[in-house]
Structure 1
Amino acid sequence: MSDDAWAPDDDLRAAAALLSAADPARRAAGYGRLAARAAPGEDALRAWAVDAVLGRAGREPGGAALAALVEVLEAAQDARALPVLLELAGHPDEAVRLAVAKALPFVGEPVPDSPRVRALLTLCRDGAPRVRDAAVFSVGSLDEAYSPAVRAALHERLDDEDAEVAEEAVRGLANRQDASVLPRLVDLLEAYVEPHPLTLSAAAVLGRPELLPVLAELAAERPDDRRITAALESCDPERREELAARAWQLLEELSARRPDLDAALAWPRFSTRLYLELRHGSAPVVYHADGLLSRTGRDPSRAAAAVDADLPPVDLPPAA
C-alpha cells in the first residue's frame, strides 16, 4: 500500500482514542501502543503517530504518560519532534528526562555543536544515575557526533560514581579511537565472567594490539563466542592489513571489470566492518567485504567474479 493510500487501522484509532482519557495510566497505555506500532512502521504511519501526539506534549504534566509520549517520538524518528524533546530535556520528572535521553539520538543529525548534542551533554551530568547512563550511552554508542565538548563530557564521566555510567564513557571513547582509555577497557574485559557485548564491540572498533592478550584469554575460555573472536580478529594488525589489501585488490579488479557499478569501499564509524558499496542501475547494493572474500576463498579475483555474476548489466534509459 502506498503512502497516499495509507489510513490508520482500528488498532491505531483505538490507541489514539486513549490519549484523551482522564486517567493518565490509560493515556500512557495509548502512547505505548502507538510507540510499538511506529517503531517498525512505514513512513506514513510514523508521521501519523507524530501528528497524533506532538500537540499533547504541553498538556501532559509528567510521569508515565509524558514519558510514554516521548517514546512515541523516539519510535517515529521525525525531525518535527526535536523542539519538543529539547524543551523536555530539562523537565523536573526523572522519567521524562530519561525518555528524552534515549530519544534524542534518533531525531536530527549528529552535528557536533547542535542543540540536540548540547542537550545530551547536559543530560550526561544529570543528577539521576539512570538518566546519566542513558545519556552517556546515547552520546557514546548511538550518536556519531564528536567534538572537544563531546570528548570532555565522556572523559568527565570516566570517574562517575555510578559504575555503569563510567563503563558507557569508556565504550564511547573507545568507539572514537581514544587510546587513552585502553587500560580502562582492559579492566572491563577482565572484570566480568562474560564481558558486556558493547565492551567487546568497543574493543573491536578500537582495534588496538594491546588488547590481544586479554582477548586471547577470553577466546580460549569461550572459543565459540563469535563476538570475542570478532574483537580478537579486529585487534590483530596482520589480519587487518591482510583484509585491507585484499579488499583493495577486489575493488581494483571489480572497477576494471565493471566500471558501471561505481564500486567503493566504506568503513563506517563505530563499525568493525569494511563494506563494498555499489550502484546497480539506480539501486544501491552493499556487500560485507570480509564475508564476500570468505565465501570466495579469500581470493579477490573470485570475489570480483562473484559480484559480476550477481549483478548483470542494467540497460538504463537514455538521458533526456
Structure 2
Amino acid sequence: MSTSAGHRAFQEPESINRAVRRLRRVVDSDDSDDGSDLLQQAADAGAVAVRLAVGHLADADRVVRAAACDLLGSTSAVHGDDVRREAATALIALSDTETDAEVHWSIARALGATCDPRALPTLVTLARSPDSDVRFQVAAAVPMVLDDPPAEAGEAVLIDLCTDPDPTVREWATFGLGWMSTADGNAVRRALWDRTRDTHDEVRADAARGLARRRDARALPLVRELLAQDEVHRLTFQAAAYLGDPSLLPLLDGFDPTAGGVAEALLECDPVRRAERDESVWRILESIHRRRPELRITVFGERCDLGLYLDVTDGADVAAHWFADGLLMRRAGNDPERAADLAIADLDR
C-alpha cells in the first residue's frame, strides 16, 4: 500500500466516527450540523469508503447505521457507476430488517443517490412510513431510480404521495411526477390536476407545469389565470413555454424578459420566432450535410422537452448529440454555418 493510500485508509474510519458524533447531536437535539462534510471527505475514497460503510450497517447503534447509509449515498454521488450497484445492494438488504425511522430516512436518501432501479420496491415500502420526513426522502428519491419509461410502481407511489398530508411531501412528489418523470396517462394527469387546487403555492405551480409539460389542454386556462395574478411563480413561465400558445403572449409581454423563464416563454409562444428557430436548426442540418454528406443527421424534439436536438453519426462508432437551438447555437454566436463547423469539429475529436 502506498503512503497516500495508507494515510487515506487511516483517515476514513476517523471521518465516519466524527460524523457519527455530529449526527448523534442532530438526533438528540436541534443541532443542524450532521457531519455531512466529513462523510463527503470520506466518500472521496470510493470503494474503500463503500467497504467501510457496509461494515457499519450491522452496528447496534442506529446513529452509526444511519451515518453508514449516508456515506454510501455520498460515495454513490461522487463515484457514480463505480460504486452504486454495491451501495444499493447493501442498502436494500439493510432495509429488509431495519425498523428505525432515522435509518429509514438515510436509506431512502442514499438509495436516490445510487440511481439504481432495483431500489424501487424498497422505496415503495418506505413510502408507507408514518414518519413524514421518511416519506419526503422517498418522494425525492423515487424519480432518481426510475427508468424511462418509468415503472408503474414508481408512478403509483408518486401519485399516492401527491396526496400526502404533509405539504413538503406533496411538493416533492408533484415535482417528481410532473417534472423529473416522463410518466403520463390518465392517472398521472388526474393527480397533477388535483394538485393545481392545492393549498400551497409551490405544489400548485409544480402541478401546472407538469400538466403543461404533457401539453394537457386543461393547463392553458389555468396558466392564463396564474399569469394574470399579482405575483407570478417562476414555474408558471415554464408552463407557458411548454404550452407554446400565442394567446399567452399579451400576458407575457408585461414581464421583464430577463427574469427567470420569461424569455423562453416569449420565444415558445411566438409562432414567428419559433419558426425562425426551427429554420436555423434546419440550416445547421443542411450545412453539415453539404460539408460531410456521409454523415447521418437527425433533428428531433423530445416529447417532454422544449427545443430541438441534433444527432450526428458516421453510422459506426462515432456519434454526437446537441441541444441544437441552445448551447450549440450560443457557442456559434447564433450563426448556423458556424454551428455546423462546431458540430463537425466535435464529432471529429
Query: Fold match, TM over 0.5?
Result: yes
The one-letter code of the counterpart of 1:288 is: F
Post-superposition CA distance 1:136-191 (Å, at most 9, x none): 11111111011111111111222223333222211110111123223332444454
CA distance in 1, matches of 2:140, 2:227: 26
Partner of residue 266, structure 1: 300
Residue 261 of structure 2 aligns to a residue whose secondary structure is helix
Going from structure 1 to structure 2, the CA distance change for 1:192 and 1:260 (only over 3 Å counts) comes to farther
Shifted more, 145-154 versus 84-93: the winner is: 84-93
Counterpart check, 1:15 vs 2:53: yes
Give the structure, 1 or 2, with the largest relative contact order (CA under 8 Å, sep 6 or more).
Answer: 1
> Structure 2 vs 1, CA of residues 164 and 227 (structure 1 numbering), >3 Å: closer, same or farther?
closer
Question: Aligned to 1:199, which of 225, 236, 247?
Answer: 236
Q: Distance in 2 between matches of 1:113 and 1:34?
A: 25
Distance 1:119 1:194, change over 3 A: closer
Whole-angstrom CA distance in 1 between matches of 2:339 and 2:130: 57
Distance in 1 separating the partners of 2:195 and 2:82:
39
Distance 1:66 1:50 in 2: 14
Structure 1 length-normalised TM: 0.83
Letter in 2 for 1:204: A
Q: 1:31 to 1:263 in 2, by over 3 A?
A: same
> Deviation per CA, 1:52-89, whole angstroms, max 9, x where unpaired?
21101022214221011011111111122122122222
| 1:147-158 map, 5 Å | 147-158=185-196
Give the corresponding residue for 1:233.
Answer: 267
Query: How many angstroms does 1:192 deviate by?
Result: 6.5
Find 1:216's aligned residue among 235, 247, 253.
253
Deviation at residue 301 of structure 1 after TM alignment:
4.5
In the alignment, the residues of structure 2 paired with residue 161 and residue 232 of structure 1 have an alpha-carbon distance, to the nearest angstrom, of 29
CA distance in 1, matches of 2:278, 2:224: 26
Does the 8 Å contact 1:112/1:147 carry over to 2?
no
Letter in 1 for 2:272: E
Shift of 1:226: 5.8
- Residue equivalent to 1:307: 343
Q: Distance in 2 between matches of 1:166 and 1:160?
A: 6
Counterpart code for 1:213: P
| 1:235 positional shift | 1.7
What's the secondary structure of 1:272's corresponding residue? coil
Among 295, 312, 325, the residue aligned to 1:290: 325
Alignment check: 8 A CA contact 1:27 1:65 kept: yes
* Residue pair 1:34, 1:72 contacting (<8 A) in 2 also: yes
| Partner SS state of residue 255, structure 1 | helix
* Range with greater deviation from structure 2 (120-129 or 7-16): 7-16
Question: How many angstroms apart in 1 are the aligned matches of 2:182 and 2:332?
Answer: 33
For the Cα contact (< 8 Å) 1:101–1:135, is it kept in 2?
Answer: yes
Partner of 2:281 in structure 1?
247
SS of 2:255's equivalent? Answer: helix
Give the % identical residues.
38
Verify the 8 A CA contact 1:50 1:78 in the aligned structure 2: yes
Deviations 1:2-28 (A, max 9, x none): xxxxx9544434433443333323322
Q: Which residue of 2 aligns with 1:3?
A: none
Specify whether residues 26 and 192 from structure 1 end up closer, same or farther in structure 2 by C-alpha distance, changes over 3 A only: farther
Alpha-carbon separation, structure 2, partners of 1:111 and 1:227 = 27
The residue that corresponds to 1:54 in the other structure is 92
1:76 maps to amino acid: T
305, 312, 322: which one aligns with 1:278 = 312
With 273-282 and 12-21 compared, the bigger mean Cα shift is at 12-21
Deviations, residues 74-127 of structure 1 (Å, cap 9, x unaligned): 111112212212222223332222222222222232447722212221222223
Question: Are the structure 2 counterparts of residues 45 and 152 from structure 1 closer, same or farther at C-alpha, using a change threshold of 3 Å?
Answer: same
Structure 1 residue 298, shift from structure 2 partner: 4.8
Task: Rate the CA distance shift 1:129–1:224 in 2: closer, same or farther, 3 A.
Answer: closer
> What secondary structure does 1:276 align onto?
strand
Asked whether 1:74 is paired with 2:109, we answer: no
Do the aligned partners of residues 93 and 294 (structure 1) sit closer, same or farther apart at CA in structure 2, a change above 3 Å counting? closer
What is the CA-CA distance between 1:253 and the residue it aligns to? 4.1
How far off its partner does 1:224 sit?
3.6
Q: Is the 8 A contact 1:136 1:169 kept in 2?
A: yes
- Alignment CA distance shift 1:189-1:87 (3 Å): same
SS at structure 2 position matched to 1:243: helix
Q: Please point out which of 72, 75, 80 is paired with 1:42.
A: 80
Task: Name the count of aligned residue pairs.
Answer: 303
- Distance change in 2, residues 1:95/1:242 (3 Å): same
What TM-score do the two structures reach when normalised by structure 2? Answer: 0.76
Is 1:129 the counterpart of 2:164? The answer is no
Amino acid at match of 1:278: V
